[in-house]
Structure 1
Amino acid sequence: MSDSPAPLATGPLGMRLLAFERLPEDSRFTEAPVGYVLVALWHAGLLLLVHVRHRDCWELPGGSIDPVGVPPACGGETPRRAAVRELREESGQLVAPDDLRFAGFARTALPDRRVLRGAVYAAETAAPTAFAPTEEITGIHWWNLEDPMPHGQLQTVDAYLAALARV
């Protein structure tokens, strides 16, 4: 019997959302430092999801923060800059750093029990840009939070986070 609280959400690939922390964006953590970013991008009430080829899963655009020159004062990437870069790389969508609204930190556990923390951002776009598939991302989909996905699985942890971060 475990005395740890039930996860807020679980995903089809074994990910668990342990907590969503509405703390200041510049918060620092010793346990599970911020290592990834996610972006909930909205257009006309629809959420942008990307289809990740090797997981066959629809997810929020996002990924790792570039650690080059850690800490950011030494040339490393801030979570906000990583969010802009990952959104562009994974979906072709362009958003200025100042147009992102910081929503909070997701604390997640992977199937191997490793705990990670990610910075979650939200933004609205009036003019989505065209998408070209990449080696990593096969497609994008503007989702209404209800209809089934065209193929593949939905990362339900990301859908839960997007609802929390909605602009």
Structure 2
Amino acid sequence: MPDSDRLIAFDRGADEAAPPRDAPLPLALFALWCGDRVLLVFDRHRKAWELPDGMIEPPESPREAAVRELREETGQVPDGPVTFVGYARFALGPEQRPEYGALFAGRCVTPREFRPNEEIAAVRWWDPQNRAPSRVEAIDLGLARLSGPAR
């Protein structure tokens, strides 16, 4: 997300079946954890590291979109249940338009091979206890931390 984008609220206690109605919910994100590290992707267009994410395509649910985007962007699939983490409210662009994203999390035991594609140039497994990579979306790091295992 561009620098003018901001995370303005996060509802961890949200009911997945009752998404917010005060702004659009076009986006689903996925935080895939392997041990204490979370998967980040390098988006060719935004030229930044971020969580796998993408638009929700009718008639899919936010959960279906998050899992699809994870698979399409990285070739990864969770090795167990997918957990709904919450709804993130963003203020986007210079006009700071409100929008929501649904955040999901899962775990993998052994990462699958990644092949660069038209959208994603690279992946990396980041430990939130370590310094963040350069050219990273701050919003995504915050969401990754919110989705992660307690230490």
TM-score normalised by the chain length of structure 2 = 0.90
In structure 1, C-alpha distance between the alignment counterparts of 2:33 and 2:22, rounded to whole Å:
31
- Structure 1 residue 166: Cα displacement: 1.1
Counterpart of 2:84 in 1: which secondary structure? strand
Q: 1:110 Cα deviation (Å)?
A: 1.1
- TM-score between the two structures when normalised by the length of structure 1: 0.82
Is 1:56 the counterpart of 2:33? The answer is no
Matched to 1:166, the amino acid is: G
Residue number in structure 1 paired with 2:67: 84
Number of residue pairs aligned between Structure 1 and Structure 2? 146
In 1, distance between residues paired with 2:16 and 2:29? 14
Q: Per-residue displacement from partner, 1:50-89 (whole Å, max 9, x unpaired)? A: 000111100000111002xxxxxxxx00011101100001
* Superposition map of 1:107-126 within 5 A: 107-112=89-94, 113-126=96-109
Q: Tell me the distance in 2 between the aligned counterparts of 1:165 and 1:144.
A: 13
CA RMSD of aligned residues (A): 1.6
Counterparts of 1:114 and 1:93, CA distance in 2: 32
1:133 aligns with 2:116: yes
Segments ≥4 residues shifted beyond 6 Å: none
Q: Match for 1:37 among 8, 25, 28? A: 28
Instruction: Name the SS for the 2:45 alignment partner.
Output: helix
Report the CA distance between 1:12 and its aligned residue: 5.9
Structure 2 runs not aligned, ≥5 long:
none
List gaps (5 residues or longer) in structure 1.
1-10, 68-75
Between 24-33 and 121-130, the greater mean CA deviation after superposition: 24-33
Identity %: 42
Given residue 53 of structure 2, which amino acid in structure 1 is its aligned partner?
A: G
Q: Cα offset for 1:148? A: 4.3
Q: For 1:35 and 1:12, how far apart are their aligned partners in 2?
A: 17
Query: Counterpart of 1:153?
Result: 135
SS of 1:34's equivalent in the other structure is coil
